[in-house]
């Protein structure tokens, strides 16, 4: 038997009501790292942001932003 996958999309966020989800992607990425920096990676609510940005953001953007964070050149403040 084939293993059944349970796929879900990101839940509706009233801050981003339009079809273009670019801002939702960006904000979820920023919110995740702010949450992790404040509460730690195991804090369950942070995982919602992680799932959102991994669902909404193109991999190329994530790679670029990760590189920017690692080099200290990321354009948003991620401190708690």
Q: Quick check: 79 pLDDT over 70?
A: yes
Total domains in the fold of the chain: 1
Q: Is the residue at 63 inside a domain?
A: yes
CA separation, residue 14 to residues 18, 19, 67 (Å): 9, 12, 30
Q: Is the residue at 47 inside a domain?
A: yes
Q: Is the residue at 4 inside a domain?
A: no
Mean pLDDT of 61-67: 97
For 47, the domain range is 40-74
Q: Is the residue at 1 inside a domain?
A: no
Q: Is the residue at 11 inside a domain?
A: no
Q: What is the tens place of the pLDDT at every residue in 9-56?
A: 677 777 766 666 788 899 999 999 999 999 998 999 999 999 999 999
Q: Is the residue at 2 inside a domain?
A: no
Q: Is the residue at 23 inside a domain?
A: no
């Amino acid at each position: 038997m084939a293993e059944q996958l349970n796929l879900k999309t990101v839940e509706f966020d009233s801050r981003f009501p339009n079809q273009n989800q670019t801002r939702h992607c960006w904000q979820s990425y920023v919110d995740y790292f702010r949450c992790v920096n404040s509460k730690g990676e195991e804090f369950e609510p942070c995982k919602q942001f992680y799932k959102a940005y991994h669902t909404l953001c193109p991999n190329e953007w994530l790679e670029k932003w990760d590189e920017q964070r690692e080099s200290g050149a990321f354009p948003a403040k991620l401190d708690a």
